Amino acid sequence: MSTIKSSAENLTLNADGANNDVIIQSNGSTKVHIDSTGKVGIGVTSIGTNDAVHIENGESYLVMKDAQQMGIKLYGDDTNVIFSYDKTADSITGGVTWAHADGATDFYTGGLNSRIKINATGAVTMPAQPAFSATKSSAQNDIAINSLVTITVDGERFDQNSDFDLTNNRFTAPVTGKYQINIITTLANLDQDATYIEVKLVTSNVTYTNPYIDPEGFDKDIAFYTISASYLVDMDANDTALMAIYIPDGAAQTDVRAGQTSFSGYLAC
């Protein structure tokens, strides 16, 4: 037997008997459902096993309004979480976690993939932020003249987000943005008869040429010469960037020395 009691201060709805629920309906459909364990469902006939409050009603929002400070507090002895779910696929699309053990906050996208992590000291890391550092362990000898030649690489110190293609010696931008790209390489056996030597950063949008070397200004061939350059470049998604060298005239004798080339970059903004 169910009873309804009212007093000057309280309204009590009591579903007598073991394991009975309190259900409020309108026009034959359930609007509020309180089960025997105290879990609350709004717009649902059944409540998920781990759901303290379950709301379903088309496009729904939890709205709180007050003139004073408002907020949501999560209390727990382990990790506190807020997750977004795709109802059709019944899968996580993103979320935030706060870990009690180490005080870290993680932000997730594309499922349960940590994209931004803030540790207890406030240090911020982004595990999927595009960043790479490619290296060259072998020499590239006798660079051809009068043609643009790619400076090859054969190793990686790191390739965060896997955007660098070692086979084709190039970085591919995963998203549109501004990228900081850095080049350093040491050349050997520079021919003084070359009109000039240019080390270039070749991107899909622009080819950057700097620095520029004029070996004709020397009275003999140059044994070694180190070149470095840094650029903040604009790249669209799927644009590429690679290192290249151009030497007009002279002899095809200039080498890129082994172990002295670095090609690196990252998404700046």
Looking up tokens 């240019």, which residue turns up? 198
- Pair (176, 259) in one structural domain: yes
- Pair (105, 151) in one structural domain: no
- Pair (26, 105) in one structural domain: no
If we measure between CA atoms, which residue out of 95, 93, 94 comes closest to residue 81? 95
Q: Yes or no: say if 203 and 233 are a contact pair by the CB < 8 Å rule.
A: yes
- Pair (263, 136) in one structural domain: yes
Q: Yes or no: say if 197 and 213 are a contact pair by the CB < 8 Å rule.
A: yes
Domain that holds residue 212: 131-267
pTM for this structure? 0.76
- Pair (147, 116) in one structural domain: no
d(CA 202, CA 231): 11
pLDDT by residue (tens digit) across 90-134?
899 999 999 988 889 999 999 989 999 999 999 999 988 999 999
Report, as an integer, the average pLDDT of 166-173: 98
Looking up tokens 């549109």, which residue turns up? 176
Of the given ranges (5-14, 19-28, 143-152, 200-209), which has the lowest mean pLDDT? 5-14
Query: Which residues are 231's β-sheet partners?
Result: 181
Q: In the chain, count of helices (H) and strands (E)? A: 0, 22
pLDDT averaged over every residue in the chain: 89
Report, as an integer, the average pLDDT of 184-203: 95
d(CA 262, CA 249): 26
d(CA 189, CA 12): 94
Looking up tokens 């650029």, which residue turns up? 231
- Pair (228, 184) in one structural domain: yes
Q: Yes or no: say if 229 and 244 are a contact pair by the CB < 8 Å rule.
A: no
What percentage of the chain exceeds 70 in pLDDT? Answer: 93
- The per-residue pLDDT for 62 is 80
- The per-residue pLDDT for 19 is 67
Indicate the pairing of strand 40-42 with strand 53-55.
parallel
pLDDT of residue 139 exceeding 60, the answer is yes
Q: Which of 112, 127, 142 is the last residue of a domain?
A: 127
If we measure between CA atoms, which residue out of 237, 97, 119 comes closest to residue 178? 237
- Pair (137, 256) in one structural domain: yes
Total number of domains constituting the chain: 3
If we measure between CA atoms, which residue out of 162, 231, 164, 158 comes closest to residue 201? 231
pLDDT of residue 226 exceeding 80, the answer is yes
How many Cβ atoms are within 10 Å of 254's Cβ, its own excluded? 27
